């Protein structure tokens, strides 16, 4: 693939993930599935070894409880994440309800060594309202135990998630401080030429 695998835009609150379809008849079959619904899917994808998948899954699981939004009741959680999307947990000794772990994502491309795996949550009710016909929502609401997702059939090629920071995500596949004590002696020594030109300072 000759394009970025994902694009995060903090200012826009967006995380975009590239779709991937194998180029038939091409040598370029290096699948860049960055999002897995579960451990089985990761192993089936064949991109990571089984121990690597287990480690990634452990990282995501470990961060899940820490990063997921906590609720005091199942109904409050389901109001945001949809029916059947939440689980009970104990956090710092208190009973909480959190959106369940729906998958995990590698933050950087595998070629760059990858960062820690990020936990993924079910899509919010806002992104996938109940009964939404959108394929990515139906995939997200159905059981993820089939392991068919990204390595598998081309029909199940798109699934909605949300990140722990609340961004909507659709995975498609087949796819110094320390200021010295100084004072400012002057200002405005740059920029004069731009003012005298009508055209742009860039090209």
In the complex, least distance from residue 110 CB atom to another protein, rounded to whole angstroms: 12
CB 127 → another protein: shortest distance, Å? 14
Q: Read out DSSP for 132-168?
A: ---HHHHHHHS-STT--TTTS-SSS-EEEEEETTS-E
Closer to another protein by CB, 144 or 175: give it.
Answer: 175
What distance separates the 2 farthest-apart alpha carbons in the chain?
67
Q: Which of 93, 130, 131, 191 binds another protein (CB under 8 A)?
A: 191
Looking at residues 119 to 178 of the shown chain, list those that interact with another protein (rule: CB under 8 A): 158, 172, 174, 176
Nearest in space to 83 (alpha carbons), one of 149, 139, 129, 119: 129
- Residue 9 or 84: the one with the smaller Cβ distance to another protein is 9
Nearer to another protein, 143 or 187 (CB): 187
For another protein, the binding residue among 18, 76, 79, 110 (CB under 8 A) is 18
DSSP-derived secondary structure letter, 71: B
Per CB under 8 A, does 45 bind another protein?
Answer: no
**Subset of 88-117 contacting another protein (CB under 8 A):** 108-109, 112
Minimum CB separation from another protein for residue 118, in Å? 13
Report the distance separating Cα 25 and Cα 33, nearest Å: 19
Q: Report in angstroms the alpha-carbon separations of 96 from 46, 50, 189.
A: 36, 32, 57
Tell me: does residue 192 bind another protein (CB under 8 A): yes
How many Cβ atoms are within 10 Å of 38's Cβ, its own excluded? 19
CB of 10 to another protein, least distance (A): 5
């Amino acid at each position: 693939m000759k394009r970025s695998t994902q694009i995060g835009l903090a200012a826009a609150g967006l995380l975009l993930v590239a779709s991937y379809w194998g180029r038939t008849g091409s040598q370029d079959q290096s699948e860049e599935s960055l999002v897995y619904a579960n451990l089985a899917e990761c192993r089936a994808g064949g991109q990571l070894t089984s121990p690597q998948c287990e480690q990634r899954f452990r990282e995501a699981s470990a961060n899940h409880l820490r990063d997921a939004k906590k609720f005091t009741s199942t109904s409050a959680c389901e109001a945001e994440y949809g029916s059947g999307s939440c689980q009970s947990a104990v956090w710092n000794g208190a009973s909480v309800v959190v959106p369940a772990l729906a998958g995990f994502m590698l933050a950087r491309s595998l070629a760059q060594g990858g960062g820690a795996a990020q936990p993924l949550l079910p899509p919010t009710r806002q992104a996938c309202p109940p009964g939404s016909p959108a394929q990515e929502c139906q995939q997200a609401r159905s059981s993820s135990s089939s392991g068919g997702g990204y390595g598998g059939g081309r029909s199940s090629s798109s699934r909605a998630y949300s990140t722990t920071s609340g961004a909507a995500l659709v995975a498609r596949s087949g796819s110094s401080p320390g200021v010295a004590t100084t004072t400012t002696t002057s200002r405005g020594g740059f920029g004069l030429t731009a003012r005298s030109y009508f055209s742009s300072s860039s090209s």
